Amino acid sequence: MRNFVKQALAGLRVLVVLTAITGVLYPAAVWGVSRLPGLHAKAEAVDTTLVGVDREGGRWFRTRPSAATPPASGGSNKGELNAEYDAVIAERRAAVARREGVPEDRVPPDAVTASASGLDPHISPAYAELQVPRVARENGLPEDVVRRLVAESTEGRAAGFLGEPGVNVTALNRAVEATG
């Protein structure tokens, strides 16, 4: 019994020390560093293709919708049995169909459903293909040139077998901009 008490007290001391370090000292140090002069400049992501950037206007390929309003990181807890979710999906499907000039049944699922974070830069090749005629027309480019840019921005499955191929919209829009 004496050994148990000794071990319990040692464990309690470790808990108190680690709580003080990770729960008080470390957050206080991070907060203090954040208050140093010169660290308050507006942060801006520069030259990254890891975040989906949805540009305004018809000239650009569109990313997946975001569940957060305004578009930011964040998901939704609504599922397919939720009437509000069904209404949002139907509204998005109709809007995409109008924008792309296609019947609603041609709109792929990723055009109307948000990614988990809302920042995913990838869309399906089917969604990219749906947007090719509009982007080509709006930029004065031949469709075959835009399709080539889509192919060049398409990434295969991770490790050759995980997930689905995806088109990086941020990289693709930069390529369209450089071409047009």
Q: Mean pLDDT across the stretch 45-70?
A: 75
Element (H, E) at 159: none
DSSP string, 87-117: HHHHHHHHHHHHHHTS-GGGS-GGGTS--SS
pLDDT digits (tens, 9 = 90+) for 86-115: 898 999 999 999 999 999 999 999 999 887
DSSP string, 28-64: HHHHHHHTSTT--SPP---S-SSS----SSTTS----
Q: What is the pLDDT of residue 41?
A: 60
How many C-alpha atoms does 30 have within 13 Å on its Cβ side?
Answer: 6
Q: What is the pLDDT of residue 95?
A: 95
Q: What is the pLDDT of residue 46?
A: 61
71 pLDDT more than 60:
no
Nearest alpha-carbon partner for 172 in 134, 132, 114: 132
Domain definitions of the chain by residue range: 1-42, 114-179
Nearest alpha-carbon partner for 151 in 132, 135, 133: 132
The CB density around residue 45, as the number of other CB atoms within 10 Å, is: 10
Residue 93, amino acid: R
pTM above 0.75, yes or no: no
Mean residue pLDDT of the chain comes to 86
Q: Provide the residue count of the chain.
A: 180
69 pLDDT more than 70:
no
- Choose the weakest-confidence range: 44-58, 74-88, 126-140: 44-58
- Residues contacting 61, CB < 8 A, separation 6+: 123, 128, 131, 135, 167, 169, 172, 173, 176
Q: Mean pLDDT across the stretch 2-10?
A: 89
pLDDT digits (tens, 9 = 90+) for 139-176: 999 999 999 999 999 998 888 888 899 999 999 999 99
